[in-house]
Amino acid sequence: MTEPQPPGWLPAQLNQGWTYSDRVSQAQAQVPVLISVFLAERYRHSAAPLWRQRLQEGEILLNGRRLDGDGPLHAGDRLQWQRPPWREEAVPARWRVIHDDGDLYVIDKPSGLPVLPAGGFLEHTLLRLLERSCAAQALPRPVHRLGRHTSGLLVCARRPQSRAWLSARLRESTAQLLNQPGSEARSAATGAGACRKVYRALTVPAPLQVAPGESLAITTPIGRRPHAGLGQIWAAAAGPDDPGALPAWSEMLLLERRPQGHLVEVTIHTGRPHQIRIHLASAGVPLLGDPLYRPGGEPRPGALPGDGGYLLHAHRLRLPLPAGGWLDLEAPLPPELS
C-alpha cells in the first residue's frame, strides 16, 4: 500500500528498470576473470554470489546473448545487466524558480530531491522531472550538482554553450592560490571572473577556536578513501603524501552559537565533491546529523553519501554571465538556518 505524501511529492513507486553496459578492456582481461567477479568489482554494492544468482535468473547478456551461468571473460567482451524494475523513494517534486531569462534557469532545489540519476534513483530526479515538463528544445539541464539533501540554488541552462561555460566557471579551482599569502589569495579568489558560492549550515556544538563574527580558513586536501560498499569514497585526504589528493579551500564564518549546534556560513573557493561536509568535519564540527563524515573528515563505515539528516543550504551565488556582467542570486533560508 502506498503511503500518503505531502502535496508536491512523487510517491515511492517502481520504475521501468535499466540496462547497465560494460566492455572488457585489454588490461582487465590480462588475468582470466569470471563474469561474477568482474561485475562484483565493477558494482561494489553486490558481491559475486549475488551476481551468480543474477546470471542464473537471466539478467546478464554477454555479447548480446543471454546467459544462465557464470563463465570467463575476454578482451572486447560486451556485458549488459538488465536490472529489473526497483522501487524509488518518494521525493519532493516542486521548487521555487529564482531566475529564468529564457536560457538560465535557477531554482531553489528542495532537500531530498536528487539532481541526476544515481544512488538508486532513476526517474525520481530533477533531470527527469524537467524532461517531463519541458519541450525538448527548451529543456533546462543542470549545470552543476547539489547533494540530494542539500537545498538551495541550483543553476540550469537551456543552451549547451551556456552550460559548458558556466560549468567551467563553477568548478574552476583556485588551488594555485593556496600557497599565496591570505590577503593575496582572497583578493584573487574574489576577483574578476570568480564565482562566489555561499552556503548556510548547522554543525554539531563542538568547541571552536573562533568567536561569532570570526572566520576560519579550511584547506584540508580532499582525496579518495577505501569504502566497503562503493570501493572508494571522497573524504579528507589520508595524509600529505596522498598522490590523488585535491587541494580545496573553504571559509567558515561562525554566525551564532546555539544549544543544538553552531550556525555557520561557508564560502567555497574550490568545488570538490562533498567539500563542505568534509571540510567542516575536518575542522572538528561536522554537519549536525551528517551520518557519513565524522570529526577529522573520515567516512563512517556503512554510511553512504546520499544518506540524509543534516541541514545544508546553497544560500547565495554570484555568477559571471557568458555575455558579460554578473548575476546575484539568493535562495530564501529554511527557518532552522535563519
The tens digit of pLDDT for each residue in 69-99 reads 999 999 999 999 999 999 999 999 999 999 9
Spatial CB neighbours of 83, under 8 Å, sequence gap ≥ 6: 17, 18, 19, 20, 59
Query: What is the arithmetic mean of pLDDT over 182-203?
Result: 69
- Ramachandran class of 272: left when φ > 0, alpha when ψ lies in -120 to 50, beta otherwise: beta
Fold of 185-307: Pseudouridine synthase (3.30.2350)
Query: What is the tens place of the pLDDT at every residue in 198-253?
Result: 999 999 999 998 999 999 999 999 999 988 878 889 999 988 888 889 999 999 99
By DSSP bridging, strand 150-157 and strand 312-320 are parallel
Rounded Cα distance, 266 and 275, in Å: 10
Confidence of residue 257 (pLDDT cuts 50, 70, 90): very high
Grid cell locating 76: 572486447
Mean pLDDT over each residue of the chain, to the nearest integer: 90
- Per-residue pLDDT at 195: 85
Binned at pLDDT 50, 70 and 90, residue 119 comes out as: confident
d(CA 280, CA 250): 9
Is 70 exceeded by the pLDDT of residue 255? yes
**Residues 6+ positions from 174 with CB-CB distance below 8 Å:** 185, 188, 189, 194, 249, 269, 270
Summarize the confidence of residues 137-164 as an average pLDDT.
94
Q: Is the pLDDT of residue 13 over 70?
A: yes
The structural domains of the chain, with segments of one domain joined by +, span 18-84, 185-307
Continuous segment of H or E residues that includes residue 93: none
Of the chain, the end-to-end C-alpha distance in Å amounts to 38
291 secondary structure, DSSP code: S
How many CA atoms are closer than 13 Å to the CA of 153, on its beta-carbon side? 24
Q: What percent of the chain has pLDDT over 90?
A: 77
Residue 59: the pLDDT is 98
CATH number of 18-84: 3.10.290.10
Residue that is written with C-alpha cell 551556456 in the block: 162
Distant-in-sequence, close-in-space partners of 180: CB < 8 Å, separation ≥ 6 = 188
Give the integer Cα–Cα distance in Å for 45 and 1. 27
In angstroms, the CA 193 to CA 195 distance is 7
Q: Hunting for cell 575476454 — which residue is that?
A: 74
The pLDDT value recorded for residue 227 is 86
**Residue 29's pLDDT is what?**
86
pLDDT of amino acid 176: 46
pLDDT digits 0-9 by tens, 38-72: 999 999 889 999 999 999 999 999 999 999 999 99
Question: What one-character DSSP code corresponds to residue 335?
Answer: G
Alpha-helical (H) ranges within the chain are 35-42, 48-56, 126-133, 160-171, 182-189, 275-282
Residue 181 has pLDDT above 60, yes or no: no
The sign of the torsion formed by the CA atoms of 174, 178, 181, 182 equals positive
